[in-house]
Amino acid sequence: MSTTKELWVFAEQREGKLAGVVRELLSEGQILAEKAGFTLAAVLPSADGAAFCQELYNFGAKKVYTIDDPKLADYQNDYYARAVAQLINEKRPEIVLYGATTIGRSLAPTVAVMVDAGLTADCTQLDFDVEAGNLLQTRPAFGGNIMATIICPNHRPQMATVRSNVFKKTKLSDNESGEQVPYSVDLSGVPERMRRLESVHEADSTIDLNAAQFIVSGGRGVGKPENFKIIYDLASELGAAVGASRATVDAGWISHHHQVGQTGKTVCPVVYVACGISGAIQHLAGMQSSDVIVAVNKDPNAPIFDVADFGLIGDLHQIVPEFQKQIAAAKA
């Protein structure tokens, strides 16, 4: 039997649900694995992994390493890092990809030092150099002013995190086949040094920026907190989530959950409507890869117009309500 090399995706689950980014990583992982001649596998620490396998096969995983343990039901850095690092040390994958979620950004750097691997954060593009056997990991640096391609020539695995919504997800079918490979890790020797006491979801569809097809965002040009109403009204007409620039978050006009950008969320909706946002590089870093960008700004020289597919030069206080009115009329 020839053992093929493997490309792994960390299958993050929370409270019984796979993180959306896992599907995206598998979809991209499939392209890379094909190019490299590797087998695509998922790594799934949880209390009971069997339930997730079909979904992972459907997005391209040929193998799922399930690591079942009651201690792995919810994310705990020590337990997860031990489980994943041990599996890596034993199976020696070539590449491991993680979502750059709050979990992935804690797990991946811990595992990286445990297994002596390089790690590139927040990649926006991945490619494989077949000749050298290197993963080409491209990411923005200095707030998006520059792009850098990082390689990791002498260490394996090569590891990267990728933010949500950077890659498209492609489901192959509803009944792909794959192999579940149960793996057991003895966690009894890992000291219990931290305990989760509470987990609170502040459910509100207007802040679910990751899932949204449409996002309407407001910036300082909105003028004052009350004026965010027109942004919300347009969003609700479009079934959109509401985003914001850091300036409005810092001013206390809207909660930080809405912030898009380098220090906020990275989003990739079908349509992103930026209203009264100048387009500072740190804001662009979080929304530049949206399919279609619409910008409303009264300053024709605002840098947001450099990335906008459709730029509307004018006063957002007139344009935004007008947009809402015409959408409503079209629906009626």
Partner 1 sequence: MNIVVCIKQVPDSDKVTIDRETNRLNRAGVPSIINPFDENALEMALQLKDLHGGKVTVISMGPPQADEALRTALSHGADEAILISDRKFGGADTWATSYTISLAIKKLEGVDLILFGKQAIDGDTAQVGPGVAHFLDIPMLTYAKSVEVTGNTFKVNKVTEDGYEVWDIDKPAALTVVKEANQLRMPSLKKKMAAKKAGIPTWGFDELQPEESKIGLAGSPTKVSKVFAPPIKLNKKTLSGEPAEMVAELIKNLKERNVL
Ligand X SMILES: Cc1cc2nc3c(=O)[nH]c(=O)nc-3n(C[C@H](O)[C@H](O)[C@H](O)COP(=O)(O)OP(=O)(O)OC[C@H]3O[C@@H](n4cnc5c(N)ncnc54)[C@H](O)[C@@H]3O)c2cc1C
The partner in contact with residue 332, picked from partner 1, ligand X, none with C-beta cut-offs of 5 to 8 angstroms by kind, is none
Tell me the HSE value of 230 on the side-chain side, using a 13 A CA sphere.
Answer: 22
Window 294 to 313, contacts with ligand X (CB under 6 A): 296-299, 302
H/E element holding 121? strand 118-123
Is 140 near ligand X (CB under 6 A)?
A: no
Nearer residue to partner 1 within complex by CB, 170 or 263: 263
Q: Which of 276, 283, 284, 288 is nearest to 318 (CA)?
A: 276
Report the site for partner 1 in 161-200 (rule: CB under 8 A): 193-200
Tell me which H or E stretch contains 57.
helix 50-58
248 touching ligand X, by CB under 6 A? yes
Gyration radius from the chain CA atoms: 22
Between strands 13-14 and 125-129, the pairing is unpaired
- Residue from 43, 152, 212, 241 touching partner 1 (CB under 8 A): that is 152
Give dist(CA 279, CA 285) in Å, integer: 10
> Minimum Å distance from CB 152 to partner 1?
5
DSSP state of 60: T
136 φ, ψ (degrees, to nearest 5)? -95, 110
CA 44 from centre of chain: 18
Range 31-50, binding partner 1 (CB under 8 A): none
Segment (H or E) for 67: strand 63-68
Question: What is the C-alpha to C-alpha distance for residues 149 and 242, in angstroms, rounded to an integer?
Answer: 32
Of the candidate spans 9-17, 64-72, 101-109, 258-266, the one that interacts with ligand X by CB under 6 A turns out to be 258-266
* 52 lines the binding site for partner 1 (CB under 8 A): no
Q: Which of residues 251-270 bind partner 1 (CB under 8 A)?
A: 256-257, 262-263, 270
Q: In this structure, are strands 292-297 and 271-275 parallel, antiparallel, or unpaired? A: parallel
Least distance (Å) between residue 171 CB and partner 1: 20
Using CB under 8 A as the binding rule, whether residue 27 contacts partner 1 is answered as no
**Minimum CB distance to partner 1 smaller for 57 or for 272:** 272
Half-sphere exposure of 175 (CA within 13 A, CB side): 0
When binding is defined by CB under 6 A, the residue of 315, 325, 326, 328 that contacts ligand X is: 315
CB of 5 to partner 1, least distance (A): 18
Q: Which residues contact 146 (CB under 8 A, 6 or more apart)?
A: 140
Contact partner at residue 278 from partner 1, ligand X, none, CB < 5 to 8 Å by partner kind: ligand X
Eight-state DSSP code of residue 2: P
Q: Token digits for 86?
A: 């041990």
Q: Are 285 and 304 in contact (CB under 8 A)?
A: no
Contact 185, 68 (CB under 8 A): no
Answer whether 181's CB lies under 8 Å from 238's CB: no
Closer by beta carbon to ligand X, 206 or else 259: 259
Please report whether residue 185 would count as binding ligand X according to CB under 6 A: no
- The reply to whether 289 sits near ligand X by the rule CB under 6 A is no
Is residue 178 within 8 A of residue 64, CB to CB? The reply is yes
Residues in the interface with ligand X (CB under 6 A) total 28
Candidate list 147, 179, 239, 299; residue touching partner 1; CB under 8 A: 147
Residues 199 to 238: which contact partner 1 by CB under 8 A?
199-203, 207-208, 210
277 binds, among ligand X, partner 1, none (CB under 5 to 8 A by kind): ligand X
Pattern 110-139, partner 1, x by CB under 8 A: x-xxx-xxxxxxx-------------x---
Identify which range of 45-53, 88-96, 225-233, 275-283 contacts partner 1 by CB under 8 A.
Answer: 275-283
Question: Closest CB to partner 1 among 22 and 117?
Answer: 117
* Residue 332 engages partner 1 in binding (rule: CB under 8 A): no
